[in-house]
Structure 1
C-alpha cells in the first residue's frame, strides 16, 4: 500500500510538471501580463471599464492604411456650369442682314469652328478677337459675345454650347461597372450621382470605401455611410478623382477564438465586442472570458507625459476586457478597435487543471495496475 502511494505521488508530480509544458492554443492572461508591475515595464495595461472609457476614447487613432482628411459635406451648387480653360465651345451666329460680315449670302447662320478655351480663359471670335469667357456660365458667355457683336452686326444672335474639358470633368477609377472620365453636367453633381453614372458599386467588394482625391489631399468615407447620410454626398469639382476600393483595414485574431486570422473591418467602426464576434466567438472549452486582451502599438508622437490622460503613457499598450459582467460587456461594446490591433483570447487556467486531473486519473489507474503485477 505504501509503495502504491509513493508511486502515485511520483507519477502525480511528474504529470503536474508535464502539464505545465503541454502545447496550448493560447497563453493565459497572467503569462501575457507578466512584467507589467516591473519598475520599467515594456508595456502598460489598462482595464476597459466604464470609468476608463471616456479617457481611452480620446486617445489618438492608430493603424490607418493611408492618410485621409475626413470627408467633405454636401454643399449645393448652382445648376449652371462654369466655363474653364480646356473646355470646348460650339458657337453659332445668326444674322438677318443681307451683307453680314459672318453669315454667307442666302445663309441664315454661320457655325464657327469649335473653339478651345485657352489657358488665359479666352476664345477667338472673328471681328472681336480674344474674348474672355472663363468662370462664366454658358449663358453669361453667350450674352457677352452677342453684346460685343452688336457693334459689328446689329441684328446678330448667338447660340453657345459647352463641351466640358478636363477641368470640368471628374474621373471614376475602379470599383464600378463602367469606370472612366465623366463631364460635370452642372455644379451640383455629387459623388453618388457619379457612382450611378458608372453603373454602381461592384457587388463583390467587401465594405467598399470611397476615396476622393482633390487638391493633393485624400478624403475617405464608406459607401454604406454615404448611402445612409445624404448630407455627406459631396458635391464634385472639376479635376476630382473618385476611387471605389475594398476595405483595407484589419485586425488580428489569435488565441482561443473561433478564428485565428487577419480579419477585415466590415463596417466603419468595430468595437471590442464586435471584434470577438467577427473572430468567431470564444472557444467554449478553452477561452477565458475574463481575459480578452487587445494589444496596440502607438507611435512615439502619440505618447503623452505627466497627468495628461488624453494620450497613452507608453507606446505598447494592452487593454483588458472582462466579458463575464454586465459592466464589462457594455464597456467592450463601446471600446473601439483600431486597425492593426491584436485581439487575443487567452486560455482559461481551468483547462490546465482539467488536463492535470485527467492525466492524474490515468496515472492512478496505471499505478493500481502496476501494484497488481
Structure 2
C-alpha cells in the first residue's frame, strides 16, 4: 500500500469517528457562530455566573417589567404654556427711538425739523438706556409699549408736547438658537413671548428628512430636556413656549444593538423607531441564515446594573442575562413579538449542529473521491 493511500485511510478513520460521536468540537471544524448548548451550558451549573431565561408567552409579560438598560429613554419634557403676544425688553436688546416735537424752540429737535432719531440704543447689563436730558432710563422687563409710555412720561416734564416712537430689535437674551438637524440652523429672534418650538423648527426649514428617528433636545438654564420628534409633532401639548437663551438641538437616535452569529448582518444596528421587538430585530438584521442558523437558539445578551438585581424573581438575579427564544414554535414567536430589545443588547443567532454534520459529510465525500482517484491511479 502506498504512503499516500495510508494517509487517506487514516483520515477516513478520524472522519468516521467524528460521525459516530456527532461532536463538532472533537472534529475541530471551523464555524461562524457558537452552538446554543455552548452558550447556555451554565443553565445547569450549580453556581452559574450568568442567568439564562427561556422566554415564552407564560413569562413574557413578567420579563417586560424588568428594568430598562442601555441608553436612557425616559425622556423629560417641560409642560406647555402660553405667553403674552408682546415681547419683553432684556439686556442686549437694541432700541431705536424717534421723538417728535412740534415746538419752535425744542430742546430735542433742530429748527424746521420736527423729529429726532436715536437708533441703536443697546440695553445695558443693568437694563437701562441713555436718553439725552433724561439720563439712564430703566427699560428691562418692560414690553415695548410700556417702555414707550415710560419715556413719554419722563419727557413730559421738559418737552410736554413730545411724542415717542420705539422699535425693538431682540438681542441674545430674546433669541433662541437652533443648532442642528435642520436645513438652516442659526440664532432666531423671538417675535414675542408666545414663540413655540415648532415655529422655530419651521423657521429653520424643518427637520431633515434623512434623519433616522430624530430626537429633539431643549437646553435651558443648565438642564437638557428630550422628546422624540414624532411625539412632538403628534401632540399639541408638547409644543412648548420658548424662552430667550434657549437652545434646540435635533439629533439622530444614537441607540443601537449588536447583531452577531448566523444572521444576514453582523454589525451595529441603529434604532429606527422608539421600540424594537425581538421579532422586528430579526427582520432588521436580515433574518436568520437558512443554511447555518438554529431557529431554536436565538439569544439576546444583556447587562444589568447591580441596583437592578432582584432575589425574589421580579427581576434579573445576575448582572449578565441571556434570553433564549425558540423561533420554531408559536409560543416562541409570540414571546419574541412582545419582547423589547434594549439599547446595547447583543442579538445572537446560534449555529445549527446540522451545519457541522453537513461539513463532515462533505469531507467524507471528498475523501472517498480522493480514494477512488488513488485506486484508479
TM-score bracket, normalised by the shorter chain, equals 0.7 to 0.9
The match for 2:268 is 262
Tell me if 1:128 matches 2:134: yes
Q: Normalised by the size of structure 2, how large is the TM-score?
A: 0.84
What's the counterpart of residue 306 of structure 1? 311
> Following TM superposition, by how much is the alpha carbon of 1:81 offset from its aligned partner in structure 2, in angstroms?
1.5
The residue that corresponds to 1:22 in the other structure is 29
State how many pairs are aligned. 365
Instruction: Give 1:50 deviation, angstroms.
Output: 3.5
**Counterpart-to-counterpart distance in 1, 2:41 and 2:58:** 24
Q: Secondary structure at the match of 1:193?
A: helix
* RMSD, matched Cα: 3.2
Give the alignment of 1:316-331 within 5 angstroms: 316-331=320-335
Residues 309 and 319 in structure 2, CA contact (< 8 A), matched pair in contact too: no
For the pair 1:150 / 2:163, whether they are aligned, the reply is no
SS at match of 1:112: strand
1:96 aligned onto 2:102: yes
> Whole-Å Cα distance in 1 between the matches of residues 73 and 109 of structure 2?
58
Deviates more, 1:50-59 or 1:36-45: 50-59
CA offset at residue 171 of structure 1? Answer: 1.5
Q: 2:156, 2:142 → 1: CA distance?
A: 20
Is 1:13 aligned to 2:5, yes or no? no
Distance 1:60 1:117 in 2: 51
Of residues 229, 234, 252, the one that matches 2:258 is 252
- Structure 1, unaligned stretches of length 5 or more? 1-6
Aligned residue for 2:219, secondary structure, equals: strand
Question: Who is 1:183 aligned against?
Answer: 189
Deviation digits for residues 89-142 of structure 1 (CA, Å, limit 9, x no counterpart): 112222233333323332222222422222222222333333332222212222
Out of 274-283 and 229-238, give the one that drifted further.
229-238
**Paired residues for 1:1-373 under 5 Å:** 11-16=15-20, 19-20=24-25, 21-64=28-71, 69-300=75-306, 302-307=307-312, 309=314, 311-356=315-360
Q: CA deviation at 1:52?
A: 3.2
In the TM superposition, residue 155 of structure 1 has moved relative to its aligned partner by 2.8
- Give the deviation of 1:214 after TM superposition: 1.6
| Counterpart Cα distance in 2 of 1:22 and 1:55 | 40
Task: Mark the runs of 5 or more structure 2 residues left unpaired by the alignment.
Answer: 1-10
- Tell me how far apart the structure 1 counterparts of residues 356 and 167 of structure 2 sit (CA, whole Å): 81
Are residues 369 and 277 of structure 1, via their aligned partners in 2, closer, same or farther at CA, if it must alter by over 3 Å? same
Any conservation in 2 of the 1:289–1:324 contact (CA below 8 Å)?
A: yes
Q: Deviations over 1:173-221 (max 9, x none)?
A: 2332222211112222233322222233334433333232222222223
